[in-house]
């Protein structure tokens, strides 16, 4: 019994320190710049690949192993300096939600560059001589490499503790974190301090990639799991606090070790459950960061003004009807491949519209929205596979109710206590927990998912419509998408939608004016979850296969990308973005690595140069083409404004 306990503690320490060496750089950059860098996992991966290129698969000595890891750290530090000059500096005063999405795009760039340079094959690295043999103290066997990881983690923590709290570098970083403007007034070199801190953060990420190489297979998905656990450690410990990240990493290691012993059938699940419970109990973390900040609202990235369209609504309505007409004719003149892509885009339109209800209209962000999508998809798959003659419209309604119920539970527990980054992390933790449950569920097909999903038939008594063929189900998808989009347009342009925008712009003022902010946010969350689940239920018969990948946290990024690409400030932004994203992805589908690189770079360009997306660019073009000529006014010498404050127009900000 004592031996088992000792092994559990040893494994907990090894796993926790592996997390900490990744979380250290993430904590450092947040403590200074308030940037929760999702690209940290991508740079961790680049550091690992760089170290592998130096040392090879069979490293000759411990010295060569440490040298290769250091080279990886230095290369990533230099990349961090370039990244800071090109990207991070532009994100310092941007809404935290956009920062998360922009750094996610940067992670896509890292993944694409890695595929282009090193390919997509898996590699493995053996521990160096001296660390490849087990140790046998007191008749017990311990991995020498895991002991090395524990020592490395403790050493990194000790160095950072001394550097931050005892040395000039740490004092400079704390001053910059607390008040960069006042630091500059007092004569501190703000630019130098920030550049030095960014390089240190990226150096730690690259160094961690090299040191942890023998701990796992080297692949282009290497950074994902470590990034997620590092996020969790940082959240538990407190954003920007090194001591908190160290303790948070040990907590995760202990939870993982206990999970392995007590619940071996579902490994990893306990971490997500504990994180969700912790966020609900103490969302600010164990230790507050120096100069803790309050998140700015989404309006920080926008103008707070409305656009007056120069092309009449009737023209756009005609173009919309014509577009739907063209889409309706696609089965008559395109083959199955492009038709499947277009049908999938229709599903993604509904999915993106559901996410935009939260972010674009309410100011909330969900990084686990794929969980609601998966609930609807698996419900439809099970019903169609196991219940003969089940009414498909009833299945769609059941999926919407299931998504609404799940969103209501999450919203009731979370929305009153957290928002911003913390809500985003909670939703992704819950989605990942659902992914693990699905992956170990025999009923849900485990990792293989549910296949051969039959397409339904609509039975209206005297009229029966068979949707078994691709063409028939595509037409049904098109009709369903148009109806759902029309309903959401009506809802979000009603009094309810206008109130959501008021809450998004200034929740405190809205509450002062008598709006029940909590109730409106919860209602938006429930509607968003219902529509996302409905999108999943529509997708299952179309793809005829539903797998655990539908609920992966990377799948939750799809509606974000579509929404931002099209434009958050417009109802039609997600629709335009889904079409553009599908076009780019389809055009680059055969280019290994280039697809991620193009999409990631394009999304970064949108965030940095055109945050209002494609629709925003069009509106700017309208103002340039038609806005120069001042319209006639009733008062000589005065012109009416081209835009008006959001609160003064009935139509709201999304057209």
In this predicted structure, the answer to whether residue 598 has a pLDDT above a threshold of 50 is yes
Terminal C-alpha separation, the chain? 66
Cα(627)–Cα(223) distance, rounded to whole angstroms?
A: 47
| pLDDT tens digits, 544-561 | 999 888 887 678 878 887
594 versus 379: the higher-pLDDT residue is 379
| pLDDT tens digits, 61-76 | 888 889 999 999 999 9
| pLDDT tens digits, 76-120 | 999 988 888 888 877 776 766 677 778 878 888 888 888 888 887
In this predicted structure, the answer to whether residue 288 has a pLDDT above a threshold of 70 is no
77 versus 654: the higher-pLDDT residue is 77
Which position has the token pair 């070199």?
A: 189
In this predicted structure, the answer to whether residue 652 has a pLDDT above a threshold of 80 is no
In this predicted structure, the answer to whether residue 488 has a pLDDT above a threshold of 90 is yes
In this predicted structure, the answer to whether residue 347 has a pLDDT above a threshold of 50 is yes
In this predicted structure, the answer to whether residue 581 has a pLDDT above a threshold of 70 is yes
In this predicted structure, the answer to whether residue 284 has a pLDDT above a threshold of 90 is no
Q: pLDDT at position 631, please?
A: 47
Burial of 237 (0-12, 13-18, 19+ CB in 10 A): buried
pLDDT band at 336 (very low <50, low <70, confident <90, very high): confident
pLDDT band at 636 (very low <50, low <70, confident <90, very high): very low
In this predicted structure, the answer to whether residue 638 has a pLDDT above a threshold of 50 is no
| pLDDT tens digits, 215-238 | 777 887 777 777 778 888 888 887
Closest CA to 416 of 515, 512, 513, 521: 521
Q: pLDDT at position 301, please?
A: 41
CB 521 within 8 A of CB 510: no
User: Can you tell me the mean pLDDT for 477-496?
Assistant: 93
The SS3 call for residue 65 is helix
In this predicted structure, the answer to whether residue 312 has a pLDDT above a threshold of 70 is no
Structure-block tokens of residue 652: 């709201």
105 versus 174: the higher-pLDDT residue is 105
CB 223 within 8 A of CB 553: no
Q: pLDDT at position 305, please?
A: 41
In this predicted structure, the answer to whether residue 334 has a pLDDT above a threshold of 70 is yes
CB 108 within 8 A of CB 625: no
Question: Between the ranges 26-30, 60-64, 118-122, 239-243, where is the mean pLDDT highest?
Answer: 60-64
Pairing of strands 450-451, 545-546: antiparallel
Cα(101)–Cα(97) distance, rounded to whole angstroms?
A: 6
Cα(649)–Cα(474) distance, rounded to whole angstroms?
A: 38
CB 77 within 8 A of CB 202: yes
Task: Tell me the chain's radius of gyration from C-alpha atoms.
Answer: 26
295 versus 606: the higher-pLDDT residue is 606
Which of 476-490, 579-593, 614-628 is predicted least confidently? Answer: 614-628
Which of 371-385, 496-510, 574-588 is predicted least confidently? Answer: 574-588
Q: pLDDT at position 648, please?
A: 37
In this predicted structure, the answer to whether residue 637 has a pLDDT above a threshold of 60 is no
Q: Where are the beta strands (DSSP E) in 528-585?
A: 545-546
**Alpha-carbon 342 to chain mean position:** 24
Which of 149-153, 507-511, 599-603 is predicted least confidently? Answer: 599-603
| pLDDT tens digits, 392-402 | 999 999 999 99
In this predicted structure, the answer to whether residue 303 has a pLDDT above a threshold of 70 is no
Q: pLDDT at position 302, please?
A: 42
CA angle 68, 72, 74 (to 5 degrees): 115
Give CA separation, 457 vs 397, 400, 468, 478, 525, in Å: 15, 19, 7, 16, 31
Give CA separation, 107 vs 38, 44, 222, in Å: 7, 10, 12
In this predicted structure, the answer to whether residue 256 has a pLDDT above a threshold of 80 is yes
In this predicted structure, the answer to whether residue 578 has a pLDDT above a threshold of 50 is yes
User: Can you tell me the mean pLDDT for 263-272?
Assistant: 75
375 versus 15: the higher-pLDDT residue is 375
In this predicted structure, the answer to whether residue 470 has a pLDDT above a threshold of 80 is yes
Cα(407)–Cα(280) distance, rounded to whole angstroms?
A: 15
User: Can you tell me the mean pLDDT for 248-256?
Assistant: 86
How many Cα atoms are found within 13 Å in the side-chain-facing hemisphere of 9?
A: 6
In this predicted structure, the answer to whether residue 467 has a pLDDT above a threshold of 60 is yes
Which of 84-98, 349-363, 442-456, 610-624 is predicted least confidently? Answer: 610-624
How would DSSP label each residue in 191-260?
A: HHHHHHHHHHHHHHHHHHHHHTGGGS-B-TTHHHHHHHHHHHHHHHH-TT-HHHHHHHHHHHHHHHHHHH
pLDDT band at 34 (very low <50, low <70, confident <90, very high): low
Q: pLDDT at position 71, please?
A: 93
Q: pLDDT at position 200, please?
A: 86
In this predicted structure, the answer to whether residue 22 has a pLDDT above a threshold of 80 is yes
Q: pLDDT at position 1, please?
A: 53
| pLDDT tens digits, 438-447 | 888 888 888 8
pLDDT band at 315 (very low <50, low <70, confident <90, very high): confident
Q: pLDDT at position 590, please?
A: 67
CB 50 within 8 A of CB 76: yes
Q: pLDDT at position 375, please?
A: 94
User: Average model confidence (pLDDT) for the chain?
Assistant: 80
């Amino acid at each position: 019994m004592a031996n088992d306990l000792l092994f559990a503690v040893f494994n907990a320490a090894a796993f926790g320190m592996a997390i900490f060496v990744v979380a250290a750089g993430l904590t450092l950059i947040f403590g200074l710049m308030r940037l929760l860098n999702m690209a940290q996992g991508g740079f961790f991966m680049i550091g690992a690949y760089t170290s592998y290129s130096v040392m090879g698969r069979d490293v000759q000595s411990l010295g060569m192993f440490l040298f290769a890891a250091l080279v990886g750290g230095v290369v990533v530090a230099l990349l961090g300096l370039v990244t800071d000059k090109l990207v991070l500096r532009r994100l310092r005063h941007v809404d935290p939600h956009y920062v998360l999405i922009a750094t996610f795009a940067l992670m896509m760039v890292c993944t694409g560059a890695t595929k282009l340079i090193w390919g997509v094959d898996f590699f493995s690295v053996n521990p160096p001589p001296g660390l490849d043999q087990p140790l046998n103290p007191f008749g017990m066997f311990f991995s020498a490499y895991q002991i090395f990881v524990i020592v490395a983690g403790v050493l990194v923590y000790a160095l950072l503790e001394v550097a931050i709290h005892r040395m000039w570098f740490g004092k400079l970083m704390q001053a910059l974190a607390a008040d960069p403007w006042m630091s500059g007034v007092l004569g501190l070199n703000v630019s130098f301090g920030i550049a030095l801190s960014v390089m240190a953060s990226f150096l730690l990420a690259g160094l961690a990639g090299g040191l942890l190489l023998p701990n796992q297979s080297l692949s282009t998905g290497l950074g994902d799991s470590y990034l997620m656990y590092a996020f969790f450690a940082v959240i538990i410990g407190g954003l920007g606090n090194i001591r908190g990240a160290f303790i948070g990493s040990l907590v995760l290691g202990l939870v993982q070790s206990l999970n392995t012993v007590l619940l071996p059938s579902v490994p990893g699940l306990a971490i997500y459950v504990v994180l969700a419970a912790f966020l609900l109990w103490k969302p600010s973390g164990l230790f507050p960061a120096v100069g803790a900040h309050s998140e700015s609202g989404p309006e920080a990235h926008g103008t707070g003004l409305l656009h007056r369209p120069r092309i009449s609504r009737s023209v756009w309505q005609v173009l919309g009807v014509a577009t739907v007409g063209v889409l309706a004719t696609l089965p008559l003149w395109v083959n199955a491949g492009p038709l499947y892509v277009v049908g999938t885009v229709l599903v993604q339109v509904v999915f993106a519209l559901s996410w935009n209800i939260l972010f674009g209209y309410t100011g909330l962000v969900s990084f686990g929205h794929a969980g609601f999508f998966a609930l609807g998809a698996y419900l439809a798959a099970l019903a169609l596979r196991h219940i003969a003659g089940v009414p498909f419209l009833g299945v769609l309604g059941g999926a919407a109710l299931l998504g609404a119920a799940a969103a209501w539970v999450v919203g009731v527990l979370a929305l009153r206590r957290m928002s911003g980054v913390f809500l985003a992390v909670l939703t992704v933790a819950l989605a990942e927990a659902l992914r693990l449950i699905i992956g170990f569920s025999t009923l849900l097909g485990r990792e293989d998912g549910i296949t051969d999903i039959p397409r339904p038939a609509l039975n209206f008594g005297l009229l029966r419509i068979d949707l078994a063929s691709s063409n028939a189900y595509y037409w049904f998808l098109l009709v369903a998408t148009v109806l759902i989009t029309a309903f959401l347009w009506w809802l979000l342009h009603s009094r309810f939608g206008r109130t959501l925008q008021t809450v998004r712009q200034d929740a405190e003022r809205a509450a002062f004016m008598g709006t029940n902010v909590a109730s409106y946010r919860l209602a938006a969350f429930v509607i968003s979850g219902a529509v996302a689940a409905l999108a999943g239920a529509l997708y299952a018969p179309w793809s005829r296969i539903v797998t655990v990948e539908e609920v992966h946290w990377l799948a939750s990024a799809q509606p974000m990308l579509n929404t931002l690409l099209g434009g958050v400030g417009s109802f039609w932004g997600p629709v335009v973005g889904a079409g553009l994203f599908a076009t780019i992805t389809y055009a680059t589908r055969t280019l290994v690595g280039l697809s991620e690189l193009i999409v990631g770079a394009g999304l970064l360009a949108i965030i940095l140069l055109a945050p209002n997306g494609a629709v925003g660019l069009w509106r700017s073009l309208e103002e340039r083409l038609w806005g120069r000529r001042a319209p006639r006014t009733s008062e000589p010498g005065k012109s009416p404004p081209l835009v008006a404050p959001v609160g003064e127009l009935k139509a709201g900000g999304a057209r």
